[in-house]
Amino acid sequence: MPPPADIVKVAIEWPGANAQLIEMDQKRPLTSIIREVCDGWSLSGSEQFALRYADGPQLYITEQSRSEIKNGTILRLAISPGRAARQLLERIQSHGIDARLEALKELAKLSADPTFAAEFINMEGIGTLARLVESGTHFGEMLAFTLTAFLELMDHGIVSWDLISLSFIKQIAGYVNQPMVDVSILQRSLAILESMVLNSHSLYHRVAQEITVGQLIGHLQVSNQEIQTYAIALINALFLKAPEDRRQEMASTLAQKHLRSIILNHVIRGNRPIKAEMAHQLYVLQVLTFNLLEERMMTKMDPNDKTQRDVIFELRRIAFDGENDPTGTEKRKALYAKDYKMLGFTNHVNPAMDFTQTPPGMLALDNMLYLAKVHQDTYIRIVLENSSREDKHECPFGRCAIDLTRILCEILQVGELPNEGCNDYHPMFFTHDRAWEEFFCICIQLLNKTWKEMRATSEDFNKVMQVVREQITRALAMKPSSLDQLKNKLRGLSYSEILRLRQSERMSQDDFQSPPIIELRERIQPEILELIKQQRLNRLCEGSCFRKVGNRRRQEKFWFCRLSLNHKVLHYGDLDESPQGEVPFEMLSDKIPVSDIKSVVTGKDCPHMKEKSALKQNKEVLELAFSVLYDPDETLNFVAPNKYEYCIWTDGLCALLGREMSSDLTRSDLDTLISMEMKLRLLDLENITIPEAPPPVPKEPSSYNFTYNYS
């Protein structure tokens, strides 16, 4: 007979004594259980003790967290968090250097525990650590442990960052600005400054006064990628929190300090592979840089502004410089209208009206002017070769440039905040100081080429733009390392190649619409769905590694989950690092019977997404989050590493519960497999027209009096 659900069997250790094996009743108060354990070892003062996990992070067990204890867990009797906090606070203020170092080392480890952190903070522990830093008497390991403990304690969010003193900020900034400082101290100092900037508006201004961009850029030229990552993270934080009117100024300063070329040469093209956190910080920097375009993108052109109109006059002058303007005003207006038509503007009389729609607003005009001035030969060639055509196949340059700018803004998500967990940076944007403008110049040439390949007319405008969007999206997905590589990728994605790719990626709808084919599809679908279901369950049996959701700055922590081979139990447990292959069941200490699972929820319905603050919530993480709700009122929370794993796990869990698999991956797999199966079954009917209706049954014979003579 299985034990009651409220009883868990655990082992409890105490140094120098044999472990106690007890059945812990989860309904009993924790204090009562601790008293019983202390009595077993003849320890007095049970209120001075607490239980901690013996493995992993070794967190203290509280009434709130005790429900996470599973059968077979090894616990350890330890001094209570309050007593531990009091002892450590006394020891870090002692005169003995060795004793103080050991205390700070232990404090740095314990500070990650929220229960201990609350006790230590209540005893004014953070103020004590801040004073130790401000005194300037700590160096080397002692200072590194002090800064680690301080950062871990502040990360719990119990104390506001606004309480930090100016002298503390100056001291931390001093470590960053020093030319020669211990790596561990520099790393923690950069992390503290980043947290200050992100968590306090007032501290942003103080940090910005103490830290210069030039000093941070110097830390990018070292060989330690961890230091490089923290330096870029601090630059991103300063960029993100800067007032809008100061962001352009900061971008100019970064450009003058050659930030882009330093990142390209020392990080992207360095000898070490780019780690996930560095890739994320490069992505954030890319997004923040492109977001500087948002103001121009959302600015409408003022048709009455002479300065803005002069830009359009300049476009006309560069394209048609060889023609002399007539002296008469009416003749000049008529000629201008003709030129604006040849330039491809929709409004020939007043082309300024073409730039009143946002997005792309004035950003489109900026792109056109850059092309006309920097790539003048290309600009003149595109305009003249289309303005001289009379076969209705001319490509309207102005209209195309405006719509292309809008498409590029959508593809690169200009104006949107960075997504947490996203690493989608493009190395080629770090290879040129005017990467956005050069990207536009490459794409406008692609558009002109595609227009000619499609032999398009003005009626085909939207169709051409759809093809160009697909060409650009496919090329970016290949992650070209330079703008020249982008040109080569786009050269290979001609209109005919796009048609071929589309044909190979989806079955022709025309061949599969007749009633017999539809009926065959309906008969095949259940067995294909069963095949997909088995594949999903097999993948769950292999298991997957998930990253624990938390502060990105902390060292990444992982956990692994897999389904038992009989599909009856989910096994999971923490790991020290990402595994290189399958993790055996023996290493996964926790489990959930599938019969206890009540439902699977995704996105905003997940408990761990509701708990996150609005500041940290973002679309990327929401799209990858799902939770298993199981008896009694407990949850197992996931954030998948990518969309594929998200689909595999949500499908597999739904299949376990007997529910419909509704992910995008299932729909894609279903279409692909049904298409292949149907083509195989219809192989013998190639070039044979399948009738819409079955052939008619012949009339009955007039009599059934007929025989066949076999002799």
Query: Where residue 611 falls among pLDDT bands split at 50, 70, 90?
Result: low
Domains of the chain: 7-79 (3.10.20.90), 160-273 (no CATH), 306-321+328-504 (no CATH), 526-667 (2.30.29.30)
Distance CA 475, CA 495 (A): 13
What's residue 550's pLDDT?
Answer: 59
**b (16+ CB within 10 A) / e for 352-385:** bebbeebbbbbbbbbbbbbbbeebeebbeebbee
Q: Are 106 and 120 in contact (CB under 8 A)?
A: no
**Arithmetic mean of pLDDT, 8-15:** 92
Integer Cα distance of 245 and 72 in angstroms: 59
Cis ω before 3 (30° cut-off from 0):
no
Identify the residue whose tokens are 């009416």: 330
Instruction: Identify the band that residue 467 occupies on the pLDDT scale cut at 50, 70 and 90.
Output: very high
Helices (H), 291-394: 294-297, 306-319, 329-342, 362-374, 376-387
Dmax over Cα atoms in the chain, in whole Å? 121
User: Which pLDDT value is given to residue 207?
Assistant: 92
Taking a C-beta distance cutoff of 8 angstroms, is the pair 653, 645 a contact? no
For 553, phi then psi, to 5°, come to -70, -30
User: Which residue bears the tokens 């410089």?
Assistant: 321
The 10 Å Cβ neighbour count of residue 393 is: 15
Contact 405, 360 (CB under 8 A): yes
Give the mean model confidence (pLDDT) for residues 211-240: 91
Q: Which residue has the tokens 């796990």?
A: 649
Question: Dihedral of the CA atoms 134, 140, 141, 144 (nearest 10)?
Answer: 50
Residue 270's pLDDT band (boundaries 50, 70, 90)?
Answer: confident
* DSSP at 266: I
pTM of the complete model beyond 0.85: no
**pLDDT attached to residue 589:** 83
Cα-only R_g, the chain: 34
Q: What percent of the chain has pLDDT over 90?
A: 57
Structure tokens at 309: 């109109």
How many Å apart are CA 261 and CA 241, to the nearest integer? 24
- Range with the poorest average pLDDT among 55-64, 116-125, 245-254, 514-523: 514-523
- Are residues 21 and 11 in contact, defined by beta-carbon separation less than 8 angstroms? yes
| pLDDT given at position 686 | 64
Query: Can you give 488-509 as a three-state secondary structure string?
Result: HHHHHCCHHHHHHHHHHHCCCH
Tally the C-alpha atoms within 13 A of residue 414's C-alpha that lie toward its C-beta. 23
**pLDDT of res. 117:** 94
Confidence of residue 3 (pLDDT cuts 50, 70, 90): low
pLDDT at residue number 513? 62
Pair of tokens at residue 67: 């429900």
- Check whether 148 has a pLDDT greater than 60: yes
Burial of 34 (0-12, 13-18, 19+ CB in 10 A): buried
Q: Could you give the CA distance from residue 4 to residue 262 in angstroms, rounded to a whole number?
A: 63
> Distance between CA atoms of 118 and 104, rounded to whole angstroms?
17
Q: For 270-277, what is the mean pLDDT?
A: 88
The answer to which of 208-212, 272-276, 689-693 has the lowest mean pLDDT is: 689-693
**Mean pLDDT estimate for the chain:** 87
Report pLDDT digits (tens) over 121-141.
999 999 999 999 998 877 888
pLDDT, tens digit, 9 for 90 and up, residues 285-315: 999 999 999 999 999 999 888 898 899 999 9
Instruction: Please report, in angstroms and rounded to a whole number, the separation of the first and last CA atoms in the chain.
Output: 77
Q: What is residue 615's predicted lDDT score, i.e. its pLDDT?
A: 37
Is residue 348 within 8 Å of residue 396, measured between CB atoms? no
pLDDT digits (tens, 9 = 90+) for 572-598: 988 877 777 788 888 888 889 999 999
Taking only the tens place, the pLDDT of each residue in 372-412 is 999 999 999 999 888 776 667 889 999 999 999 999 999 99
Alpha-carbon separation of residue 288 from 74, 145, 362, 622 (angstroms): 47, 33, 19, 21
Counting residues of the chain whose pLDDT is more than 70, the rounded percentage is 92
Rounded Cα distance between 335 and 149, Å, is 74
User: Strand pairing partners for 602?
Assistant: 626
pLDDT for 328 beyond 60: no
